[in-house]
Amino acid sequence: MDTILVVNAGSSSVKFQVFAVDGDGRLRRQIKGQMDGIGSRPRLRATDAAGQALADRAYPIESIPDVSEALQVGAAWLRDEMQITPLAVGHRVVHGGPDYDRPVLIDHGVVTRLERYTALAPLHQPYNLAPMRSLLANLPNLPQVACFDTAFHRDHDDLADFYAIPRRLHEEGVRRYGFHGLSYEYIAKALPRVAPEIATGRVIVAHLGSGASMCAIHGGRSIESTMGFTALDGLPMGTRAGQIDPGVILYLILVKGMSPAEAQNFLYRDCGLKGLSGVSNDMRELQASPDPSAAFAVEYFIYRAALQVGMLAAALQGLDALVFTAGIGENSVSIRARIAERLGWLGVVLDPMENGRHALLISRPGTTPVYVVPTDEELMIAQHTLSLLWSGRRSTQAKERAS
């Protein structure tokens, strides 16, 4: 059976999913797994489509010191024990810069160009690229496809795309990109099926997780996003500050004596919910904590989320529906309810019973519709990978016929 492997690599984990390609070209999730604890307590875990365990095994620390080794161990397990040899591999890449507005086949040149954006996504980009290099070295004939979190936002109007800086910097690539695009693209494509009455309307999607952002979508197209040049902007996140006066960064460097590298590490790893609370970067732990600082961090997140909805509603010139997705958005009844309480001026009123059972539609009849739609970035990557693979084959066949 033909399969597509999807890889999402981080600093200490490699998540992967395997999709079977049915005869009619449909994708069916077959395996979901990850290698986590890389460099500390490596562990491979995997389940089948029904959630039944396929693997759960630990490894010595020294045996899996980095992402490349983790990928090789995972690949060996798929090949030797699951008899899976994929047609192609799709990768999530956080930052595509100005060069890439759609998925692309990976070669050494692509990897080199993507390395230029490492400073713009230091928590993700180096680790997104590591599996690509490993596969190029060990399986050079295996097609690989890069799918970008920035691509969905690349057709923003100039008013949304520009910063108020000299145009030459914009031309160099200093612009508002937006992120979580694979998630938003999935939601935009899912709405005609799950909520056709709003699919072509003015929709705000709240991707709320450890990384959090929102996107204004009209007619399936990204109009505006809370994130900009990097994934630091907008909503407060698990460890990232979100919207912040640039003068604060200048203060950290000029007055507090931080080096640029130290300031970068501080803004990406020590701020957000973690910095506000001093307790945790995990929303579940914060909600369960009796610490007043934890309660403040939660309230701050809710307040800022409501502010960002207001901004995006202004960009859309109205609001036809609100969609919650990602870890917090899909699973936290109370966070959804408390954000909605601040949006009554937009006609948002939740139905507590429907919200409590995580229904698709959680708003009261006659109010602005509010939905909970689980995202599926991995499926989006698999679809892009298969589409690009088939497109390449058709192009090759056409050239052969022409010759």
Residues that are catalytic: 149
| 402: DSSP letter | H
Point out which residues pair with 5 in neighbouring strands.
18, 89
From residue 240, give the alpha-carbon distance in Å to each of 7, 119, 146: 24, 15, 25
Dist. CA 306–CA 237, nearest whole Å:
14
Adjacency order of strands within the sheet including 104-105: 53-58, 43-48, 27-36, 13-21, 3-9, 88-93, 144-148, 104-105
From residue 278, give the alpha-carbon distance in Å to each of 267, 285, 367: 15, 12, 38
Dist. CA 242–CA 221, nearest whole Å:
24
Kindly provide the b/e burial profile for residues 12-24, where b requires at least 16 CB atoms within 10 angstroms of the residue's own CB: bbbbbbbbbbeee
